[in-house]
Amino acid sequence: MDVKIEPSWKKALAEEFEKPYFKELAGFVKNGYKEGTVYPPPKFIFNAFELCPFDKVRVVILGQDPYHGRGQAHGLCFSVPESAAMPPSLQNIYKEINTDLGLPIPQSGNLEHWAKQGVLLLNATLTVQAGNPASHQGRGWEQFTDAVIKKLSDEKEGLVFLLWGRYAKEKGEVIDRDRHLVLEAAHPSPFSAASGFLGCKHFSKANDYLASRGQTPIKWVLEN
């Protein structure tokens, strides 16, 4: 099946695209766009992969669903375009970066600059019906993104996986923890951030690990 995705990912996931479940998923998603409003716009479905090629991945952050409101989802978990209001979970992520690393809190919720440094911002489900959270769960996206995580775990070494919340932790069970650093905490949502996300120091721990392997740390906040 010819899937429009960044070339290194196309090669890495070639077998997955030929499986019956993926062909069914592609049909379901295509139909969803024809019959109603689905987010993100089609050109952004694989945006996380476009901005962070397979051979450039250094950190993986797992989300669940794309945002289901107008103008929010653009294919990167927790991220929104410049024009969108800052979501509450991202506000808490920025708070943690501020206390962990002493960096200023950004005004923009766009995390493309993370992706371009090798942070794969991967949602478990890559599409959603407008105004209807979880509407595209159980259709095949989870199987696809499980395969992505397994491929990264098996074929790369020294990645940092940031798993926030029960859902991400369960999804991360396939990761080889002898080959990679896996950091777990509560979800940054306002409902759970105080229960272990705030104060987790994942951003400094990720950078310390990368530095210990001779890699450039991630610039979590762009310098003005």
Instruction: Give the three-class secondary structure for 112.
Output: helix
Give Rg (Cα) of the chain: 17
From 65, 100, 176, 178, the catalytic residue? 65
Neighbour tally for 223: CB within 10 Å: 6
- Decide if 55 is catalytic: no
| Phi-psi domain of 118 (left: phi exceeds 0; alpha: psi -120 through 50; beta: other) | left
Asked if residues 137 and 56 have their Cβ atoms less than 8 Å apart, the reply is no
Asked if residues 178 and 154 have their Cβ atoms less than 8 Å apart, the reply is no
Relative to beta strand 128-129, strand 38-39 is antiparallel
Spatial CB neighbours of 38, under 8 Å, sequence gap ≥ 6 = 29, 32, 127, 128, 129, 130, 136
- Catalytically active residues, by annotation: 65
